[in-house]
Chain A
Amino acid sequence: MSNANGTMNLTLKVWRQKNAQTAGKFVTYKAENISPDMSFLEMLDVVNESLILAKDEPIHFDHDCREGICGMCSLYINGRPHGPKRAITTCQLHMRSFSDGETITIEPWRAAAFPVVKDLATDRSAFDRIQQAGGYISVNTGGVPDANEIPIPKVIADEAFNSATCIQCGACVAACKNASAMLFTSAKITQLGLLPQGQPERYRRAQSMVAQMDAEGFGSCTNTGACEAECPKEITLTNIARMNSDFFTAKFFKEEEVHEVNHG
């Protein structure tokens, strides 16, 4: 909702922090003459331009594609990851979702496993390491069968796809009171675990990725469902159930037998 001039004047309370070693604090800024058609990040661009002209240090935040797919942008806006609207990222959030005169609080993701890099940017490399631990199908380039030699029922392919839409932004962790990474990890495990190509390593994968997730210091899941509610790609809790199932199934077998289970 804009004012009579068709623009908005806002107050921003922004978390400023030099780096992970330094304590941070909120600093208040004015954002004036903001168009409701601007994206949230474009509003921050405007604020930063004015800070630079005043020779003040601009607010640092992560962003890149600005169309909701790269997963680089984050921001905890008024207490919610990616702001007030469902199923979008911060870069897709537009100022028409706010009102003239409103105060907006902007924080980084808060989780021990995501240390602050600077201001609103955090280090999410723990997610990369979880995937390095086993988030793949072990095939080399070349020497694979023709694509249509592996028929996959459409329902299975679609279900795997729903999990594959995860953009690795970390909103699930930020939303969780325990800072758990179960939704993220389970989406990766589920995508590959549902597909026939993923069967040979299915149980080993679940074990090694969960082990890495724990090693990174993420919290436990207590089935609150905040992750599902805030996920910009609407990844569901069903993924966590599937991951738990694969994880516990693997526990019934000795490590060398895990591989065999798939064919049983």
Chain B
Amino acid sequence: MILDAKIPQGPLAEKWSKHKFNLKLVNPANKRKYNVIVVGTGLAGASAAASLAELGYNVTAFCFQDSPRRAHSIAAQGGINAAKNYRNDGDSVYRLFYDTIKGGDYRAREGNVYRLAEVSVNIIDQCVAQGVPFAREYGGLLDNRSFGGAQVSRTFYARGQTGQQLLLGAFSALNRQIHEGKVKMYTRTEMLDVVVVDGKAQGIVTRNLKTGAIETHAAHAVLLCTGGYSNVFYLSTNAIGSNVTAAWRAHKRGAYFANPCYTQIHPTCIPVTGTHQSKLTLMSESLRNDGRVWAPKTKEVAEKLRKGEIKIENVKEEDRDYFLERKYPSFGNLVPRDVASRNAKEMVDEGRGVGGSGIAVFLDFRDAIERLGEETVKAKYGNLFDMYYQITDENPYKQPMRIYPAVHYTMGGLWVDYNLSTNIPGLYALGEANFSDHGANRLGASALMQGLADGYFVIPYTLGDYLATIGPKPVDKNHPAFEQTKKDVEAYVAKLLALKGNKTVVEYHRELGHIMWEYCGMARSEEGLIKARGLIQALKDDFWKNAIVMGENEEINASLERAGRVADFIELGALMVEDALNRRESCGGHFRVESQTEEGEALRHDDEFAYVAAWEYKGDNQPEELHKEELVYENVKLTQRSYK
């Protein structure tokens, strides 16, 4: 099967506007005859649900949390990019497009990325109109800061909680539509399957997490806005509840999963302290505006530091290696995330790591505090410093932060075309749940941008075209596919509840995380990946024999919820390993040790791998089939990325 991305013809800058004109419209009186399901209420889901309801469609929205506002977009700290050029520093739509394509290591579609850059400016306007309190200057206008992979200041921010403020904006728009009766909201409800009728998505099956009731919902289209799958690594910066279940079940119903091995390891997280740890906490990339990353110049100094024989403040200037500034003088501490992460790992591998475990490097604010004063630093990063202090009991105003990379975001996801449609008509994927815009590495402050672009400014246009094509005839909920899918879900839940072994689901999750981090993390080799393949299969077999799932279906049952999610993560982990094995090149967040330059930088093989790898599910324990979507570059010349 040839995958058609449906990128419009014509010059890059005209693609989206021409496409919008060519898309069919649904007349205002007919819109109320259509039902649309939106799963997930983060930035993509809340903005899509609100915008579609404003247009007049009937929307049913779902989230597994107790309120839509708790979706994990809430935790994004640093900011959101937009090509406003308010700083007069040379920014433009084309430059944001170019930086994003380059940052993604030339593995994203030109057409999608240009559209993202184009609508970025509208997002900021929309959020301000909703009352999102972005940072401002004394003149009353909006402030900006810099993020990695860019030489302009285009990031808008709201202290260290941009995600919460943007989500509250989208949530307020959603609340208004709930009040108007145009959105029916289901909280504490989890999607467990998609109903496919004659090849089209026409509904979902959900489980009410309070009562256990398994129900079907019908609609003309289903939008999955269910986030990423970083929790396949057990430890990540994602919320505990973040999961791949909705996307994975859709995959098992035929939706292709694209580039699953592309994961982002964020360079500045608080290092792991012990096996009890349940999640990792990110320290925003914005800290690299003023913080300087360093490690001791020699193993000897590092060892003395670890043993407490010398104090950090007594490490002489010539014994400190500001390795990012040294290796990448033009971008310095603001190199993209994949580059910063790999370099930190290199320091640790060389024995130059710090902290008790030796698995960390420093992020130092000494010079910034000297230059700007403690008050200014506090105003910019106060809440992040507090958060660090709470977790580590160390004061970052007095001593450098210890940081180490952690899994943070997944660029891979459900395959979608330019219209955000998966290969199943009527099934759409938005935000982090799709694979579309970040290639092999996402630039900082671009996730919020993409989630809101998809929800506010893309899907309201592209969905209308599909709905106009299929017509407003009500969906037949009596079709046997609904009952059958519900039965499948009930059988699966019963199968989980029958597991009465001797090992907790959390232990399986932790073991899966170890395998993924060790063999499919920051650096991957053929040998390691083949080993991981066997380990995951063994883990899966063991899970279905020896896991313990407590309680019953007809109650709140966190044990059951977690079991379903971990079972899906195990299957996804196996696919990630296959995808990583197939891609015998290094690109962005995917670093194959067999493919590097003499200087140890990622080496791509454009002649062989300039494609999107979209995987088709073929049944339990069957190898998945690879479909390739060739990436065509008409505007950008593919070069080896350099941030020197």
On whether the two chains bind one another, the answer is yes
- Spot the interface stretch: B158-166, B315-323, B443-451, B584-592: B158-166
B129 A137 Cβ-Cβ under 8 A: yes
A153 adjacent to chain B (CB < 8 Å):
yes
Contact residue among A45, A57, A125, A168 (Cβ-Cβ distance under 8 Å from B278): A45
B70 A49 Cβ-Cβ under 8 A: no
B460 A141 Cβ-Cβ under 8 A: yes
Query: Considering only CB atoms, which chain A residue lies closest to B124 in the complex?
Result: A147
Bound: A60/B210 CA distance, A: 12
A164 B276 Cβ-Cβ under 8 A: no
Which residues 590-625 in B have Cβ within 8 Å of A in the complex?
A: none
A58 B128 Cβ-Cβ under 8 A: no
- Spot the interface stretch: A31-39, A177-185, A247-255: A31-39
Min CB distance B390 to A, Å, is 5
Bound: A88/B47 CA distance, A: 29
Q: A132-B178, A138-B176, A140-B54 are in contact. Are A66 and B131 (CB under 8 A)?
A: no
A167 B141 Cβ-Cβ under 8 A: no
Contact residue among B131, B164, B390 (Cβ-Cβ distance under 8 Å from A88): B390
Min CB distance B212 to A, Å, is 12
A198 B131 Cβ-Cβ under 8 A: yes
A203 adjacent to chain B (CB < 8 Å):
no
Bound: A161/B160 CA distance, A: 12
- Per-residue CB contact flags for chain A residues 23-48 toward chain B (1 = under 8 Å, else 0) read 00000000000010111011001100
- Per-residue CB contact flags for chain B residues 378-398 toward chain A (1 = under 8 Å, else 0) read 000000001100110100000
Bound: A198/B506 CA distance, A: 46
**B47 contact set on A, CB distance < 8 A:** 141
- Spot the interface stretch: B7-15, B417-425, B551-559: B551-559
Bound: A161/B134 CA distance, A: 8
Bound: A146/B86 CA distance, A: 11
**B391 contact set on A, CB distance < 8 A:** 39, 92, 94
Q: A65-B239, A135-B172 are in contact. Are A49 and B140 (CB under 8 A)?
A: no
Min CB distance B461 to A, Å, is 10
Min CB distance B402 to A, Å, is 13
A125 B187 Cβ-Cβ under 8 A: yes
B640 adjacent to chain A (CB < 8 Å):
no
A72 B70 Cβ-Cβ under 8 A: yes
- Spot the interface stretch: A100-108, A115-123, A222-230, A236-244: A115-123
**A128 contact set on B, CB distance < 8 A:** 67-69, 175, 185, 187
A124 B551 Cβ-Cβ under 8 A: no
Bound: A63/B134 CA distance, A: 27
Which residues 52-85 in B have Cβ within 8 Å of A in the complex?
A: 54, 65-70, 72, 74-75, 84
B129 A124 Cβ-Cβ under 8 A: no
Contact residue among B70, B175, B387, B460 (Cβ-Cβ distance under 8 Å from A64): B70
Q: A41-B278, A141-B51, A191-B133 are in contact. Are A147 and B74 (CB under 8 A)?
A: no
A154 B136 Cβ-Cβ under 8 A: yes
B241 A69 Cβ-Cβ under 8 A: no
B28 adjacent to chain A (CB < 8 Å):
no
B556 A60 Cβ-Cβ under 8 A: yes
What bracket does the count of chain A residues touching chain B fall in?
A: 35 or more
Q: A42-B278, A66-B240 are in contact. Are A144 and B75 (CB under 8 A)?
A: no
B22 adjacent to chain A (CB < 8 Å):
no
Which residues 179-216 in B have Cβ within 8 Å of A in the complex?
A: 179, 185, 187, 210
Q: How many A-B residue pairs have CB under 8 A?
A: 213
Q: A45-B278, A164-B133, A168-B69 are in contact. Are A131 and B128 (CB under 8 A)?
A: no
Query: Considering only CB atoms, which chain B residue lies closest to A212 in the complex?
Result: B179
B75 A121 Cβ-Cβ under 8 A: no
**B289 contact set on A, CB distance < 8 A:** none
Contact residue among B66, B274, B387, B460 (Cβ-Cβ distance under 8 Å from A123): B66
**B163 contact set on A, CB distance < 8 A:** 69
**B137 contact set on A, CB distance < 8 A:** 154
Which residues 187-209 in A have Cβ within 8 Å of B in the complex?
A: 191-192, 195, 197-198
**B361 contact set on A, CB distance < 8 A:** none
Q: A42-B276, A52-B559, A157-B133 are in contact. Are A141 and B173 (CB under 8 A)?
A: yes
Query: Considering only CB atoms, which chain A residue lies closest to B390 in the complex?
Result: A92
Contact residue among A68, A69, A140, A195 (Cβ-Cβ distance under 8 Å from B133): A195
Query: Considering only CB atoms, which chain B residue lies closest to A122 in the complex?
Result: B66
B390 A94 Cβ-Cβ under 8 A: yes
**A5 contact set on B, CB distance < 8 A:** none
Best-buried of A127, A132, A133, A192 by chain B (most CB within 10 Å): A132
A49 B133 Cβ-Cβ under 8 A: no
A81 adjacent to chain B (CB < 8 Å):
no
Bound: A148/B128 CA distance, A: 9
Query: Considering only CB atoms, which chain B residue lies closest to A163 in the complex?
Result: B133
Query: 27 pairs across A/B with beta carbons < 8 Å?
Result: A37-B276, A53-B504, A53-B548, A58-B559, A65-B72, A66-B281, A118-B555, A118-B556, A124-B67, A128-B175, A132-B178, A135-B172, A136-B130, A136-B176, A138-B176, A142-B457, A144-B128, A145-B129, A147-B127, A152-B136, A157-B135, A161-B133, A168-B67, A191-B131, A195-B133, A197-B128, A197-B129
B-side residues, CB < 8 A to A, are 47, 50-51, 54, 65-70, 72, 74-75, 84, 86, 122, 124-131, 133-142, 158-159, 161, 163-165, 168, 171-173, 175-176, 178-179, 185, 187, 210, 239-241, 273-274, 276-279, 281-282, 386-387, 390-391, 393, 456-457, 460, 502, 504, 506-507, 548, 550-551, 555-556, 558-559
3 closest pairs, A vs B, by CB? A151-B140, A136-B172, A144-B129
Sample of 6 further A-B pairs with CB below 8 A, known A65-B70, A147-B128: A53-B504, A65-B239, A121-B66, A154-B137, A157-B140, A160-B131
